[in-house]
Each structure stands twice: as C-alpha cells, then as structure tokens.
Chains A and B, each alone.
Chain A
Amino acid sequence: PDSPLARWTKSLHSLLGDQDGAHLFRTFLEREKCVDTLDFWFACNGFRQMDLQDTKTLRVAKAIYKRYIENNSIVAKQLKPATKTYIRDSIKKQQIDSAMFDQAQTEIQATMEENAYQMFLTSDIYLEYV
C-alpha cells in the first residue's frame, strides 16, 4: 500500500519528493517541452533554503528571474502579471526575501497539478514504469 507508486499517485508533492518519481516526471516533461516548470519549482525550493546574508543569494534570485520570469518562457506565461511585477520590483530594489518566489511557485504548482501531473499519470512513460 505504501509502495513508491502508491505515493506518486497520492499527490504531486509526494511524486516530487521521491527521487525516481521526480526523475520520471522530469523525463515526461522534457518530452512535453515544459521541463522548465519543474526546474523552476525546484529552484524556488532551493532558493527558500539559502542564506540571505550570503551575497550568492541575490545572484541566484537574479538568475531565477532572468531564466524563467523576465523572458516569455513557459513559466512566465503561467504566472499572473502581478506576481511577475512583484518579483521584478524585489530584484530591482535588491529586497531579497526567502519567500519572494512563494506565490510564483504556488501558481506554477497549481498549473502542474491540473495539467502535467494528470497527464503524467496516464502517460505511457508512467504506465511502462508501472
């Protein structure tokens, strides 16, 4: 009952907390050309754990912004304009906060749960693994 596969179908969160699950989901998203959404999700988690005193943290915030939000990438398209503006302004003012990507991550996660995650659970990549 508590096999990895049972956990994967429980929630997106359980899937992403499992190494094999996250890896398989990533392979699926690569094929669907939306792997950036998953990388962004993990980047948000990684960023939240960073030390705000470390000068590296501002550089990482800028890197996340540049790579996923500033351009018209798949992540940017799924975010609300207000969310993007908030992050842009925080970076501009160099007001770095551990929670500054939380809202964006929540929005991306909701979209993943509704779309990619459901598609994954019926995909041949998943069914073959099962």
Chain B
Amino acid sequence: IDSEDDLLQECISSAMPKKK
C-alpha cells in the first residue's frame, strides 16, 4: 500500500502541466 505522502504526491503530479 502506498503511503499517504506518496498518494498526495501522485495526485499533485497528475495535475501538473506536462512537457509540450
């Protein structure tokens, strides 16, 4: 199971703008 911090980080990263 992922830790809470990992889940949060994953959530933030998923919303970051991607490279064009």
A: which residues have CB within 8 A of B? 16-19, 21-22, 39, 42-47, 49-50, 56, 59-60, 62-64, 66-67
Contact = CB atoms under 8 A, between A and B. Distances in A.
Nearest to A40: B12
A86 to B, nearest CB: 20
Interface of B: 2, 4-5, 7-8, 10-20
15 contacts: A17-B17, A19-B17, A22-B16, A22-B17, A42-B12, A42-B16, A44-B15, A46-B12, A49-B14, A56-B2, A59-B4, A59-B7, A60-B8, A60-B11, A67-B8
A25 B8 CA distance: 20
A63 B16 CA distance: 18
Contacts of B16: 19, 22, 42
